[in-house]
Amino acid sequence: MADSEYLCLTLLANADEGESAFKARLTAAWTQLLRSAPDTYDAVYAEAKAFDRTNGRVSRAYMVEADAAEAVAAALSASGVEVVPLDPDDVYSKYEASSGEWFQLAH
């Protein structure tokens, strides 16, 4: 896959977990990933500007390079963060991952 293709990775809060507690868990999980697998972390291109709700739970979406999305998802799952199954056919361009709904992560 080309480097300019991205998948949307959606992370879910625990049932009845609020946005603040989920945000703290996400920070810990991302920090762990950055420290343990910086190359995998570098595949995360953008974060949704706002939390959302998915299946009645707080969620946060990320744009991740398509060829590294499974590794990112596995690392976050290992950190205790639930990941919505990826759809490898739902591919986004860099332009779509750079829209006003997304905050690009500095690496």
Tens-digit pLDDT profile for residues 11-52: 999 999 999 999 999 999 999 999 999 999 999 999 999 999
Gap between the Cα atoms of 38 and 94, Å rounded: 21
Of 43, 68, 58, 60, the closest CA to residue 101 belongs to 60
Look at the chain and report how many structural domains it folds into.
1
pLDDT of residue 1: 43
Q: Please, are residues 60 and 22 in contact by the beta-carbon 8 Å criterion?
A: yes
pLDDT of residue 2: 46
What mean pLDDT, rounded, does the chain reach?
A: 93
Question: Which DSSP letter does residue 68 get?
Answer: G
Q: Write the single-letter amino acid at 47.
A: E
Q: Which range of residues forms the domain containing residue 24?
A: 5-104
CATH at residue 74: 3.30.70
91: its two tokens: 């591919």
Within a 10 A sphere around the Cβ of 37, how many other Cβ atoms?
Answer: 15
Q: Write the single-letter amino acid at 5.
A: E
Look at the block and give the residue holding tokens 């500007």. 49
The model's pTM: 0.91
